[in-house]
Amino acid sequence: MIDIHCHILPGMDDGPRNLRESLAMARMAVADGIQAVVATPHTFNGVYCNRREDILEGVRRLAEALVEHHIPLILLVGADVHFEEDLIDKLETKKVLPLNNGKYLLLELPSQSVPFKANEIFFEIRVKGYYPILTHLERNHYIQQHPEIVGDWAEHGAVIQITAASLTGGFGRRAYECSCRLLENGWVDVLATDAHSLNQRPPVLSRGLKAAQEIIGRDEALKLVSLYPEMILRNMPLPEKNFPLPPFRPTRRSFFSLLFN
């Protein structure tokens, strides 16, 4: 499996505080079956403004530590870029860091709302030759009430990523139900951990993968953690979506049943 959204670099944001914690997260990821991780520290969110050069150096140092401690995890560069109206300027001046220095940009919307100029900026990103990956939309309060907006973005070329823990109840009932809805409609391209630590937000994909399999089937679910992430990191365009997904008998569990595992 490949995790394209992971806060694993030490001391750069609200993820691990030091190298020891980063290495522990890496060991947990490997034990879960994750072979490669994209390090995506927050940037331009009003709290953290990690520069491109600092992220590249952080990845270099952690990659060396992984080799030194015999942890078989591939580490790639990226950033969790906060949505801003001047995002295009930052993209043109190379201030933001796409995944694996390629053409896919991890883009985080505000948690409560959808920015007024979102559609316009998504379009401009595509015109510039980049692909916006819209992260953890199922956790956005507005989208939880209006999930159909995600379908419009997906049909116009945006890549949609949801959080593995949302499918196992880790972010509450509304995030769980919204993530199921997005999967059922065939709008999701990638499942990622958005990991920050060992405990509250761990680097674990397998549980979310299992939950996704119950909704869209094994073959389609596996694409979200293997084929499509690999295509993204290789700068390959993802297959065009055909809505809706082929018929499949979903066995999605109720949210409350997740509480009694």
- Tell me the per-residue pLDDT of 53-112, one tens digit each, with 9 for 90 and over: 999 999 999 999 999 999 999 999 999 999 888 889 988 998 899 999 999 999 999 888
pLDDT of residue 261: 59
Give the architecture (CATH level 2) of 2-258: Alpha-Beta Barrel (3.20)
Separation of alpha carbons 89 and 100, rounded Å: 20
pLDDT band of residue 242 (cuts 50, 70, 90) is low
Helices H, strands E: what count in the chain? 11, 9
Q: Give per-residue pLDDT as tens, 171-187.
A: 999 999 999 999 999 99
pTM for this model (two decimals) = 0.91
With 60 as the cut, is the pLDDT of residue 153 above it? Answer: yes
> What is the average pLDDT score of the chain?
92
Among 82, 130, 136, residue whose Cα is nearest residue 105: 130
Q: Which amino acid is at 247?
A: P
* Contact assessment for residue 129 and residue 93, using Cβ atoms and an 8 Å cutoff: no
Domain boundaries, the chain: 2-258
Separation of alpha carbons 230 and 223, rounded Å: 9
- Sequence-distant (6+) residues with CB within 8 A of 239 are none
3-state class (DSSP) for residue 192: strand
